[in-house]
Structure 1
Amino acid sequence: MKTMDIKKVGSYMANTPHVQENRPVRPEEPPAQVPKNLDAEGAEDRVQFSREALELARSRVMMDREEIRTEKVDALRQKIQDGTYTVDPQKIAARMLDEII
């Protein structure tokens, strides 16, 4: 098995030219000017949401609705147990027709 002599690594790095040291120095460029048609006065900001963000927003709305529905179901369940729940056949028929049409 061969062994490597690592004592020479430090001297090797000292003799290696560094890219940063060999790079010529450039004069600093002035900051870029913003064209007048893009300055803040007449600019319009736009936001475009990804499909995933829109789906996440919809799911959050649905989760909030589920809480409301849970409360509604609990209230209806209580009415049924109390015997105070009544069904309006006209409303049921109207909603069924609305879904078909």
Structure 2
Amino acid sequence: MKDSNERPLPSDVPVEDTLTISEFLHSVHHPQEDMTRATIRFGQYAFNQYRKQYGRPPYTRRINGNGPVKVYLDPIEYIFLCSTYEQWRRRQQGKEHA
């Protein structure tokens, strides 16, 4: 059954060429103790920024039979995630010091 937020990955795109927010955060060495919170918070921020920039939600794929997980295309959208992550980190640091 298709979820309303599901935008299935095209069949011609190998799953190995995608990454989840969690995989991205691991790749940029985000602090492990903040990983759960960051996956949710940064994931929502990246989703919103993606929709603003591309006018559509990111692709999704089902992992281990679970609901749709948003995925980003590597390396094309990795650059987008890097710049979005930097923006998000600056915003988070500003909130911590306020």
TM-score category of the 2 structures, normalised to the smaller one = under 0.3
- Larger gyration radius, structure 1 or structure 2: 1
Q: Normalising by the residue count of structure 1, what TM-score does the alignment of the two structures yield?
A: 0.25
Q: Which has the higher strand share?
A: 2
Report which structure shows greater RCO (CA 8 Å, sep ≥6). 2
Per the normalisation by structure 2, the TM-score is: 0.26
